[in-house]
Amino acid sequence: MTNSMDSTEEKEEHYKGWPNSHGFDPDFEVLEPVELQITGKIPQYAAGTLYRTGPGKRQVQADNGKVYTIDHWFDGFNQVHRFQIVSENGTIRAYYNSRMTVDNILQNIRRTGRLDGFTFAQKNDPCQSYFQKFQSLFFPATPPTPDDEKSSRNVGVTVAISMPGLSNSDGDKQKTSFLTLKTDATQMSRIHPETLEPIGLATQALLHPDLTGPLSAAHCKSDPVTGDIYNYNLDIGSSCTYRIFHVSARTGETRILAKFTGAGAYIHSLFLTADHVILCVWNSHYSMGGLKMLWEKNILDAIGDYDPSKPATWYVIHRREGGLLATYESPAFFSFHSVNAWVETKGGSSYIVAELAAYDNLDMLKRVYYENLMSNGKVAKSSGDQMANSARSTLRRYRLPAVPTSTNLKSKSKAKRIAVVEWTAPYDVSPELPTLNPNFLTIPHRYTYGIIDRAKSSLYDGLVKYDSLTKEAKYWEEFGHTPGEAIFIPDPNSKEEDGGVLLSVVFDGINDHSYLICLDARTMTELGRADVRGVVGFGFHGAFAPAVGSAQPQV
């Protein structure tokens, strides 16, 4: 659809409050790869496969004639997208296919007119029994049965291309010929890397029998050298138990590094240095230790009111020795995404530097109800000013001083350890869905990339490169175009931190179609784009697999 308005002023007035609703409820699925038209140039080193996951459609027509509608962006029905960038005789070509991964859920809604199971924020039927609710939250933590293999779960916040520790049907833990979709629970969905068809379900209990808690981080951390992964498992109750664990990419074995009790909270990500795993329990604490989820059947309604008087707690765990090295406190905040962490030494003392995207309260969780996001919704027209900066993130750097170097050298001082805020960037330069050059993970980095919210739309309005040294920012933006998470692809011939390109899926809300954009990571200028000729829903996260020798699309 091409807009007939002539002037920029008329377009901007007509699309005030962009993006439009089509990006939140697309009906676009391409099961077989199709070639995309490329304009401009995409560099040869960007050849590979980009996977994107997140909500596709949010409405389903039931057999009874009623339309079932999802309330919250985090609960949209999952769809996976696959972009292949192929180098053929020095020429770059691009292909696209996609698939909904929740066929059984959609079929059940069409048949019954309702959504069964556990969600992030959907309002549920209060007449369901306590036992039904318990079952939907704590589904059996055992290897998938034949029936499970045919079922689907609405899991798709993050995607892992090679998830160590999960077995294929032949029992070989070293082969991972499937993608793993994850969420903020211990359940995972495995899908085919080419057709994107669901293969089966898994839980963290398959990694280690002690990982029986229902909650975890959608963003596990991966060592940039070894590929080993680190995450937490949270067992809720009157006394909440955290287990920090490590999965070896070489052996597939899982080890529990630390176990401790603490306030149960919704924690979407954690930190990794070359020596430590850091779990920050920020201020999204569950009511009643999380037991409220059993009757609310969702996470958001089980999170208590934000209490600025309660400090955030930082737990530092030794990666190799295991064990809790130290605990820190900082003033209250909330976050989704960690950026990076590393160790520095000064005056013979080690300290941890950690960066994240911070919020002043929990307003962001409420801002992303669909009625607040859709530019043609009644609430979206007034919600922006009401939530203002409270629902916008700021890039923030913390320092955790005097970290013990070994579990045998713990400080005997009983003084409270404090995580100190070194700096906080302004809202208008602070990336969300933050990323960086992956070669700089666990070491000091200068540039952080991400989507940016400068209050120009009801969602996000551009991409940003933030320089933590000069405190300056560079942007890419186009009116009415809403970008998704940026993925950094390093240039193998560059030694500069910003030597590479960014890939992002962008929705053109004026002409109603999406495209894959390739930006120069140094200048934030466009190099090329590949037109999808359809609407890719506003998603969350992605992963990139570099090309391995083959010049042909994997169809």
Q: Is 445 part of any known ligand binding site?
A: no
Q: What is the rounded distance in angstroms from the CA atom of residue 128 to the CA atom of residue 131?
A: 8
At residue 490, the 3 state secondary structure works out as strand
Residue 372, H or E segment: helix 370-373
Would the CA dihedral through 95, 531, 59, 303 be positive or negative?
Answer: positive
Is residue 188 within 8 Å of 181, Cβ to Cβ?
yes
Q: What is the rounded distance in angstroms from the CA atom of residue 539 to the CA atom of residue 43?
A: 25
**Structural Rg of the chain based on CA atoms:** 23
At residue 120, the 3 state secondary structure works out as coil
Q: What is the rounded distance in angstroms from the CA atom of residue 155 to the CA atom of residue 145?
A: 18
Q: What is the rounded distance in angstroms from the CA atom of residue 29 to the CA atom of residue 103?
A: 13
Kindly give, in sequence order, each residue whose CB lies less than 8 Å from that of residue 213, ignoring residues fewer than 6 positions away: 186, 233, 234, 235, 236, 241, 243
Q: Of 26, 29, 76, 82, nearest to 543 (Cα)?
A: 82
Q: Is 268 part of any known ligand binding site?
A: yes
Angle CA(477)–CA(365)–CA(100) in degrees, nearest 5?
Answer: 70
Q: What is the rounded distance in angstroms from the CA atom of residue 122 to the CA atom of residue 69?
A: 10
Q: Of 511, 506, 503, 516, nearest to 537 (Cα)?
A: 506
- First vs last Cα of the chain: how many Å apart? 29
Q: Is 246 part of any known ligand binding site?
A: no
**Structure tokens belonging to residue 97:** 């296919």
Is residue 72 within 8 Å of 370, Cβ to Cβ?
yes
Q: What is the dihedral of CA 104, 188, 262, 265, to 10 degrees?
A: -50
Whose tokens are 């750097």? That residue is 397
**Structure tokens belonging to residue 35:** 């070639």
Distance (Å) of CA 28 to CA 80, 372, 511: 11, 23, 15
Distance (Å) of CA 172 to CA 81, 167, 176: 27, 6, 9
**Structure tokens belonging to residue 388:** 């203002």
Helix/strand/coil (H/E/C) assignment for every residue in 267-328: CCECEECCCEEEEEECCCEEHHHHCCHHHHCECHHHECCCCCCCCEEEEEEECCCCCEEEEE
Give the annotated binding-site residues for Fe cation.
219, 268, 337, 541
Give the annotated binding-site residues.
219, 268, 337, 541
